[in-house]
């Protein structure tokens, strides 16, 4: 029996439609959220800052700043033990920090999980990597620092990033060994008496130098090191060690007041107060005199952050590490720290 032409035409059209639809790629809509891998990458968008793990419906743009912060000042108090600072419930040695905590956010579980010495601790803060550096300034950090990455990202001159330190050996923080970064994008430094291998200077001199740089150059990124708690601890001078903690506490307040009185900095600056390391607990080695191992006294350090993007009057038990400072500073100032092993301390933010 012959099949009518119209029936053949209909069957052909249906068959063609079927093969066409089967040949098209079927796409499952991709979720905007990404599983948190633990690296705490942060996506900045045109309308919101989104931590990985949340829904983001806006196309990311790396050039859009996430934060109100335009400047970051990191103050490193060298070597006080936590039990003489925030671990002492009276806060008798840190009255100014105790009052300033109501302006910002405090971390009660902040640790140096690397080598608990001066050079390595500062290196971890600035590069986001734990390295076991020789501790007399003989060896540069392996990786590029927040200062180099900031200067490269912004194209700003060297005087917009500074390392100012009582210890001369911390001049190493201005450079690194990493290929493509060694000798490039280096910040200005003012360390020790006259730079590397010239000897330590007094903390009150460092305070004067830091205040002069702040008012003269208005840097956007700065690290300030005060040495005396560590210096007198090693000297087995308990009374001077305690007095040095009190004096550096007063220096922090002076710097805070200066920043708040300067229109360039007021309400646009984040201050971070922390340590490079602590000291041995009583009964460990020679106690407060030394440091350098993995005891809780050496690892547990202080962290106070004050700035327009941080929570106010908060004390958090969220555990973070020294290497996390680098990624957090990079978020605040909107640049990348690709070689940092740290993560953004998201709990600090409002």
Give the residue, 5 or 222, on which the prediction is more confident: 222
* Structural domains of the chain sorted by starting position, each given as residue range(s) with its CATH number in brackets: 29-64 (no CATH), 71-348 (3.40.720.10)
For 223, residues 6+ apart whose C-beta sits below 8 A from its C-beta are 74, 75, 76, 122, 125, 126, 147, 162, 163, 164, 165, 173
| pLDDT tens-place string over residues 113-131 | 999 999 999 999 999 999 9
For 23, residues 6+ apart whose C-beta sits below 8 A from its C-beta are none
pLDDT at 176 over 80: yes
> To the nearest whole number, what is the mean pLDDT of the chain?
87
Measure Cα distances from 5 to 10, 17, 18, 22, 343 in Å: 9, 19, 20, 26, 71
* Position 44 confidence tier, pLDDT thresholds 50, 70, 90: very low
Give the residue, 126 or 25, on which the prediction is more confident: 126
* Position 36 confidence tier, pLDDT thresholds 50, 70, 90: very low
Q: What is the mean pLDDT of residues 230-242?
A: 98
Q: What is the mean pLDDT of residues 221-233?
A: 98
| pLDDT tens-place string over residues 256-271 | 999 999 999 999 999 9
Residue 244 near residue 200 (C-beta atoms within 8 A): no
Q: Which of 53-67, 77-91, 327-341 has the lowest mean pLDDT?
A: 53-67
CA distance linking residue 241 with residue 288, whole number of Å? 9
For residue 45, what pLDDT is reported? Answer: 29
For residue 162, what pLDDT is reported? Answer: 99
For residue 65, what pLDDT is reported? Answer: 74
Q: What is the mean pLDDT of residues 7-27?
A: 40
CA-angle at 235, arms to 229 and 239, nearest 5°: 60
CA distance linking residue 265 with residue 273, whole number of Å? 17
Q: What is the mean pLDDT of residues 169-194?
A: 98
Listed residue (57, 31, 52) closest to 42, CA to CA: 52
pLDDT at 296 over 50: yes
For residue 64, what pLDDT is reported? Answer: 66
The pTM (predicted TM-score) of the whole model is 0.82
For residue 247, what pLDDT is reported? Answer: 98
pLDDT at 276 over 70: yes
Q: What is the mean pLDDT of residues 206-223?
A: 98
Measure Cα distances from 300 to 72, 74, 118, 192, 320 in Å: 23, 18, 14, 27, 11
* Position 63 confidence tier, pLDDT thresholds 50, 70, 90: low
pLDDT at 97 over 80: yes
Q: What is the DSSP string of 88-138?
A: STT-TT-HHHHHHGGGSEEEEEEE--S--SHHHHHHHHHHS------TTS-
For residue 66, what pLDDT is reported? Answer: 85
Q: What is the mean pLDDT of residues 218-246?
A: 98
Q: What is the mean pLDDT of residues 154-159?
A: 98
Q: What is the mean pLDDT of residues 313-334?
A: 98
pLDDT at 26 over 90: no
């Amino acid at each position: 029996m012959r099949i009518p032409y119209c029936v053949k035409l209909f069957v052909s059209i249906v068959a063609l439609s079927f093969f066409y639809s089967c040949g098209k790629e079927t796409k499952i809509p991709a979720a905007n959220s990404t599983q948190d891998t633990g690296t705490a990458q942060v996506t900045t968008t045109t309308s919101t800052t989104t931590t990985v793990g949340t829904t983001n419906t806006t196309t990311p743009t790396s050039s859009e700043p996430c934060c109100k912060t335009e400047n970051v000042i990191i103050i490193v108090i060298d070597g006080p033990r936590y039990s003489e600072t925030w671990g002492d419930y009276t806060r008798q040695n840190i009255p100014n920090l105790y009052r300033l905590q109501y302006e910002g956010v405090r971390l009660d579980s902040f640790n140096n999980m690397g080598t608990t010495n001066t050079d390595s601790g500062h290196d971890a803060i600035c590069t986001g990597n734990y390295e076991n550096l020789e501790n007399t300034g003989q060896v540069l950090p392996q990786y590029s620092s927040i200062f180099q990455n900031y200067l490269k990202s912004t194209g700003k001159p060297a005087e917009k990033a500074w390392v100012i330190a009582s210890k001369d050996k911390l001049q190493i923080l201005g450079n690194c060994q990493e290929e493509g970064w060694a000798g490039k994008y280096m910040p200005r430094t003012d360390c020790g008496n006259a730079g590397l291998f010239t000897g330590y200077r007094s903390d009150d001199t460092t305070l004067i130098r830091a205040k002069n740089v702040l008012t003269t150059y208005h840097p956007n990124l700065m690290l300030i090191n005060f040495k005396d708690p560590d210096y007198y601890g090693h000297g087995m001078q308990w009374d001077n060690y305690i007095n040095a903690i009190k004096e550096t506490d007063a220096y922090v307040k002076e710097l805070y007041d200066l920043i708040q009185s300067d229109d360039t900095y007021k309400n646009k600056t984040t201050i971070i107060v922390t340590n490079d390391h602590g000291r041995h607990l009583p009964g460990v080695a020679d106690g407060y005199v030394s440091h350098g191992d993995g005891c809780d006294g050496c690892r547990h350090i202080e962290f106070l952050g004050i700035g327009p993007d941080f929570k106010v009057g908060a004390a958090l038990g969220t555990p973070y590490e020294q290497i996390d400072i680098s990624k957090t500073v990079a978020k605040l100032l909107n640049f990348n720290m690709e070689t940092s092993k740290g993560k953004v301390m998201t709990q600090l933010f409002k």
